[in-house]
Amino acid sequence: MKKFFTLLKIEGKLSLRCVDSIFFGVCMPVGIMILIGLIAGQNPATSDGGYTLIQSSFGALVTVGICATAFMGIPLTIADYRDKKILKHFFVTPVSPTMLLWVHAVINMLLSVVSALLIYLVAKTFFGYEMIGSKLAFIGSYLLVMVSMYSLGLLIASLCRTVKTANVVCSIVYFPMLFLSGATIPFEIFPQPLQAVAGFLPLTQGIKLLKSSSLGLETSLLLPLFVLVGSLVIGISLSMRFFRWE
Amino acid sequence: MKNCIEVNNLSKSYGNRVVVNNLNLAVKKGEVFGLLGPNGAGKSTTIDCILGLKSFESGSVRVLGMDPTKERKQLFERVGVQLQSSSYQGNIRVGEVCEEIAALYRLPSDYRDLLSQFKLDQYLKQPVAKLSGGEKQKLSVLLALIPQPEVLFLDELTTGLDTEARREVWQVLSDLKEKGLTLFLTSHYMDEVEVLCDRVCIINRGHVLVTDTVPKLIQKSPYKRLEEAYLWVMKEEIAI
């Protein structure tokens, strides 16, 4: 365990030195929250009645941190460490390279949780946000979305042989997920055809789940749950099949 | 004397290309053993197979009596490894990479002592990326010494080092040899091999051409220095 925490401390410091993960994972979603608060404040949400825009976007905004870590942080770090043979080097030590992967999973989880907590604190303190639904259900949904997205990030890392391809694939996945899933721009204001297409993104389903649980809606969550668990299973099993240490 | 490293009939190929062909070697405890050969001779692949990093078609490997793939965790508490052209995490500092490696072992040596032995102590807080090529290379040898190894593998240990730095590394290794360290190295510098190695094995295209002590190898050739003797062996092989 001491090994794990020493690695966590050092690798964590390294992650904090990369400004981009902090910017995209923490500053950007908090900024968007402040922006929505200032623009819309207590205005009602566009489509569903009875909620403020902040209440309706909260579930979506907390996924921005997940998105940044799952589709940037995790795959790019793994591809970089593999390229630099850092993972390979762990094979000739008493510690398995898997430990290094876990260390990074924990760092990224911490980063997304910090991002989500900051969004919550900003929303609550400055814009009087209250969660309508059960907090426990929300936390459960949040964790499911997180592991499911991380498994897809791991899959990208497994399928991309070089840092260059990983970079390209990450951008191709990250930006549509960010803008089309409803994480940053409310899904409801999209035109119908775009909604239909965006519905295929796993994160869209994740946000549906988070939104329902934060608003305490009684809608059927079978599809989102199915998509998220499906992504998790597919992500993990394909990663295990295709993962290369070097 | 006990053999620290034993390789029997090792063969490895990539597709149709045979990279290591029926290789045999044994390194005794306390010995400094050099694996020599031109680029692409199969040196790094041989080291990778010995360390369990690559699977091989046939043959067997034992290091300190253990199977490197099956008893990896116990074995690598006692074995230090420097891999060819190592690189490090972006923006990691010298002290941090040392601390991280030291954390992986049960009984690591004090990396601060090693840093001063290698004259790298003034860089403790510097990013590794800012070090010169030679300093980085010294750092990679240093990291391999952190586990206080009984057996040390060094793949091209002084490539990129200046003359002075090479001497420093040789001095540290010679001192460790006095204390009973077993050393397995590859190098393209025959002066270095002459200074450090007790025995050498010359391979080409995965075949062992000769395994002998440095003085005997020179004696067998019509020359007085290892470099000429080495070239002579390589030429003989081409003639065959």
pLDDT band at A36 (very low <50, low <70, confident <90, very high): confident
Q: In this predicted structure, what is the pLDDT of residue A96?
A: 87
**For residues A93-127, b (16+ Cβ closer than 10 Å) or e, as one string?**
bbbebebbbebbbebbbebbbebbebbbebbeeeb
- Tell the residue number behind the tokens 């993960």, with chain if given: A21
Element (H, E) at A203: helix A202-215
**pLDDT of residue A190 exceeding 70:** yes
Give chain A's radius of gyration (CA, Å).
18
Does A89 contact B86 at a Cβ distance shorter than 8 Å?
yes
Does A92 contact B51 at a Cβ distance shorter than 8 Å?
yes
ipTM of the shown complex: 0.87
Chain A contact set for B87 (CB, 8 A): 84-86
Residues B111-133 pLDDT 10s: 999 999 999 999 999 999 999 88
Residues A72-110 pLDDT 10s: 999 999 999 999 989 999 999 999 888 999 999 999 999
pLDDT band at A50 (very low <50, low <70, confident <90, very high): confident
Does B104 contact A88 at a Cβ distance shorter than 8 Å?
no
Give chain B's radius of gyration (CA, Å).
18
**Strand, coil or helix: A243:** coil
Does B52 contact A13 at a Cβ distance shorter than 8 Å?
no
Residue B86 in contact with partner chain A when CB distance is under 8 A? yes
Element (H, E) at B169: helix B163-178
What pTM, to 2 d.p., does this model score? 0.87
**pLDDT of residue A48 exceeding 70:** no
Share of chain B above pLDDT 90, in %: 73
Share of chain A above pLDDT 90, in %: 55
**pLDDT of residue A172 exceeding 60:** yes
**pLDDT of residue B96 exceeding 90:** yes
Residues B3-55 pLDDT 10s: 899 999 999 999 889 999 999 999 999 999 999 999 888 999 999 999 999 99
Q: Are B155 and B84 in contact (CB under 8 A)?
A: yes
**pLDDT of residue B1 exceeding 80:** no
CA pair distance A239, B29, nearest whole angstrom: 42
**pLDDT of residue A166 exceeding 60:** yes
Q: In this predicted structure, what is the pLDDT of residue A2?
A: 87
Task: Kindly state the average pLDDT of the residues A182-210.
Answer: 89
Average pLDDT of chain A? 89
| Token pair of B42 as six digits | 């199969």
Selecting from B52, B91, B147 the residue whose C-beta is nearest the C-beta of A17 gives: B91
Residue A18 in contact with partner chain B when CB distance is under 8 A? yes
**pLDDT of residue B239 exceeding 60:** no
Chain A contact set for B100 (CB, 8 A): 6-7, 10-11
Task: Kindly state the average pLDDT of the residues B205-233.
Answer: 91
